[in-house]
Structure 1
Amino acid sequence: MELLFVADPLEVFKTYKDTTFAMMREAAARGHVLWACEQRQLAWQRGARVTARGARRVSLTGDADDWFTVEATRDLVLADASAVLMRKDPPFDSEYFYATHLLEQAEREGARVLNSPRALRDHPEKLAILEFPQFIGPTLVTRDAAAIRDFHAEHQDIILKPLDGMGGMGIFRVGPDGLNLGSITETLNQHGRTTVMVQKYLPEIVQGDKRIILIDGEPIPHTLARIPQGSEIRGNMAVGGKGVAQPLSDTDRDIARAIGAVLAPRGLLFIGLDVIGDCVTEINVTSPTGFQEITQQTGYAVAQRFTDALEAAVARPRG
Structure 2
Amino acid sequence: MKLLFVADPLDTFKTYKDSTFAMMREAARRGHALVACEPHHLVWLRDGRVTARGARHITLTGDSHDWFKVEATADLALADADAVLMRKDPPFDPEFFYATHLLGQAEREGARVFNKPSALREHPEKLAILEFPQFIAPTLVTRAPAEIRAFHAEHRDIILKPLDGMGGMGIFRVKDDGLNLGAIIETLNKDGAQTVMVQRFIPAIAEGDKRILVIGGKPVPWCLARIPQGGEVRGNLAAGGKGVARKLSARDFEIAETLGPILAARGLLLVGLDVIGDHLTEINVTSPTCFREITDQSGLDVAALFIDALEGALA
What's 2:90 paired with? Answer: 90
What's 1:52 paired with? Answer: 52
Matched letter for residue 120 of structure 1? L
**Is 1:41 paired with 2:41?**
yes
The whole-number CA distance in structure 2 between the counterparts of 1:289 and 1:88 is 11
The whole-number CA distance in structure 2 between the counterparts of 1:231 and 1:255 is 29
**Is 1:81 paired with 2:81?**
yes
Give structure 1 stretches of 5+ with no counterpart.
none
What's 1:70 paired with? Answer: 70
What's 1:185 paired with? Answer: 185
What's 2:171 paired with? Answer: 171
Offset of residue 250 of structure 1: 1.1
Offset of residue 254 of structure 1: 1.0
Matched letter for residue 80 of structure 1? D
The whole-number CA distance in structure 1 between the counterparts of 2:290 and 2:257 is 18
What's 2:110 paired with? Answer: 110
Match runs of 1:1-319 below 5 Å: 1-315=1-315
What is the aligned length?
315
Query: SS state of the match for residue 97, structure 1?
Result: helix
4+ runs deviating over 4 angstroms: none
The whole-number CA distance in structure 2 between the counterparts of 1:163 and 1:221 is 29
Offset of residue 265 of structure 1: 0.3
User: C-alpha deviations, 1:241-272, integer Å up to 9, x for none?
Assistant: 00000011111001101011211100000000
The whole-number CA distance in structure 2 between the counterparts of 1:306 and 1:263 is 15
Query: SS state of the match for residue 205, structure 1?
Result: helix
Offset of residue 38 of structure 1: 0.2
Report the identity percentage: 72
User: C-alpha deviations, 1:281-311, integer Å up to 9, x for none?
Assistant: 0000000001000000010000000000000
Q: CA RMSD in A?
A: 0.4
The whole-number CA distance in structure 2 between the counterparts of 1:257 and 1:45 is 42
Query: SS state of the match for residue 199, structure 2?
Result: strand
Matched letter for residue 97 of structure 2? F
The whole-number CA distance in structure 2 between the counterparts of 1:194 and 1:118 is 24
The whole-number CA distance in structure 2 between the counterparts of 1:107 and 1:147 is 42
The whole-number CA distance in structure 2 between the counterparts of 1:304 and 1:11 is 24
Q: With structure 2 as the length reference, what TM-score do the two structures score?
A: 1.00
User: C-alpha deviations, 1:146-173, integer Å up to 9, x for none?
Assistant: 0000000000000000000000000000
The whole-number CA distance in structure 2 between the counterparts of 1:133 and 1:213 is 20
Give structure 2 stretches of 5+ with no counterpart.
none
Offset of residue 5 of structure 1: 0.2
Matched letter for residue 149 of structure 1? R
Offset of residue 60 of structure 1: 0.3
